[in-house]
Amino acid sequence: MDLRYFINQCAEAHELKRVTTEVDWNLEISHVSKLTEEKKGPALLFESIKGYDTPVFTGAFATTKRLAIMLGLPHDLTLCQSAQQWMKKTITSEGLIKAKEVKDGPVLENVLSGDKVDLNMFPVPKFFPLDGGRYIGTMVSVVLKDPETGEVNLGTYRMQMLDDKRCGVQILPGKRGERIMKKYAKMGKKMPAAAIIGCDPLIFMAGTLMHKGASDYDITGTVRGQQAEFLMAPLTGLPVPAGAEIVLEGEIDPNAFLPEGPFAEYTGYYTDELHKPIPKPVLEVKQILHRNNPILWATGQGRPVTDVHMLLAFTRTATLWTELEQMRVPGISSVCVLPESAGRFWAVVSVKQSYPGHSRQVADAVIGSNTGSYGIKGVITVDEDIQADDLQRVFWALSCRYDPMRGTELIKRGRSTPLDPALDPDGDKLTTSRILMDACIPYEWKQKPVEARMDEEMLAKIRARWHEYGIDI
């Protein structure tokens, strides 16, 4: 599977709109996409960009239906249900479907090097007015190889086009990419890198789920049910998808950074770099690989909810749920890291209680997990009758089952992301406080609130006759 197959599947499911009206790469593409995503509209394929022949694809993950399409699941599944299927396939699979190396593929249809390397050949968008420039990708998979272990890492980074041959790469401190880069710095060598722009969307998902002994391509094939195919990029020797749209091969000098940004982050705000651009690693592009008539996959960010927030919510939901299963925490009914919380900051877990303190144990486990330990600043637990991604019912539980004095715990110190705009810009940007909110009816109560429930027999009768009522919902 590749990006084009996914686009065709979206079209068949009436989840794609081909925009034939001419649009400008400068703000117009991003603004049309943002308005469409906020209305849960279709994915967009802009086929006429001013001054360019290359189309631009946006909105890949903006609806739960498109997430299900990407995963090859029934289209009516919720985010929670799709994440559960991902978790089950990766945690309970008897064996991984190993990826297959091939010698050729569509990405090698065009190989440009030397003076032919010019990033201006692509309709790279500018997303927001205060952005520092054009971003060739905000969710780009950058392939790196650990020089000591030989392990390959597919990190997801934003990349600003600095000029026709260089891109700033936001490799944040503490991330695996930075750890690899420091090893090259210690060796006194530049770090080979290959940036993938446009491929099987599952590769982005695979890059977030740690699986010992498996590559991201193995994970992709396992979830897909068939071998993923990769080839070794001719310049760097790094594995890239054979069906990728565009690959930028080059080097990153671990000792030569340039100012990059600012950029409208997934939080809906700019960071401190709005006032002072921060030096970032730079990808020196030595060679461009691209398919015939390539499609530029663009993902904007800004305030929630966009396709990026749906992607972040899905991947973090899947990884958190997986970790809770691996921790053998009992009673987990559903999990959701909310897209409305920028896909990071708030998690909801539905639990079937079996003993007093069970729901608190679940909340503690979330904070103690790898996913929950970074960025999460609120955990809400609800009873099993409420799906974790059903915000309407979650707020019902917070209103009618939650007592602030009984159900609230504050944690003073936890690891945060420096991108959180709620933290003091002049203070500590690496730690945050956290709140646990138990919206479950206490297990030990002998007399529990009696819910107003509909009659199941009457509901079944109504559902069987629903077409007779002429009510379209």
Q: Is the pLDDT of residue 346 over 70?
A: yes
Can you read off the two tokens belonging to residue 320?
A: 């958190």
Residue environment code for 426-436, b if the CB has 16+ CB neighbours within 10 A, otherwise e: eeebeebebeb
At position 416, the amino acid (one-letter code) is S
Q: Is the pLDDT of residue 59 over 90?
A: yes
From the list 245, 299, 266, the residue with the least C-alpha distance to 58 is 299
Q: Is the pLDDT of residue 52 over 60?
A: yes
Kindly state the percentage of the chain with pLDDT values over 70.
97
Q: What is the mean pLDDT of residues 358-364?
A: 97
What is the average pLDDT value for the chain, to the nearest integer? Answer: 93
Q: What is the mean pLDDT of residues 331-341?
A: 96
- pLDDT for 91 equals 65
- Assess contact for 130 and 264: CB atoms under 8 A: yes
Q: Is the pLDDT of residue 426 over 90?
A: no
- pLDDT for 214 equals 67
222 vs 52, higher pLDDT: 52
Can you read off the two tokens belonging to residue 93?
A: 């699979």
Can you read off the two tokens belonging to residue 114?
A: 């030397």
Rounded-to-5 percentages of helix, strand, coil across the chain: 30, 25, 45
| CA 250 – CA 238 distance, rounded (Å) | 11
Q: Is the pLDDT of residue 212 over 60?
A: no
Q: Is the pLDDT of residue 8 over 80?
A: yes
- pLDDT for 383 equals 98
Q: What is the mean pLDDT of residues 424-428?
A: 86
Q: What is the mean pLDDT of residues 316-339?
A: 94
- Assess contact for 350 and 384: CB atoms under 8 A: yes
pLDDT digits (tens, 9 = 90+) for 13-47: 999 999 999 999 999 999 999 999 989 999 999 99
- Assess contact for 282 and 163: CB atoms under 8 A: no
Q: What is the mean pLDDT of residues 43-61?
A: 96
88 vs 208, higher pLDDT: 88
Q: Is the pLDDT of residue 168 over 70?
A: yes
- pLDDT for 347 equals 98
- pLDDT for 386 equals 97
- Assess contact for 438 and 363: CB atoms under 8 A: yes
pLDDT digits (tens, 9 = 90+) for 113-151: 999 999 999 999 999 999 999 999 887 899 999 999 999
| CA 163 – CA 171 distance, rounded (Å) | 19
**Which residue's entry shows tokens 């400008």?**
24
The secondary structure of 23-76 as a DSSP string is B-TBTHHHHHHHHHHHTT--EEEE--BTT----EEE-TTSSHHHHHHHHT--TT
Q: What is the mean pLDDT of residues 302-320?
A: 91
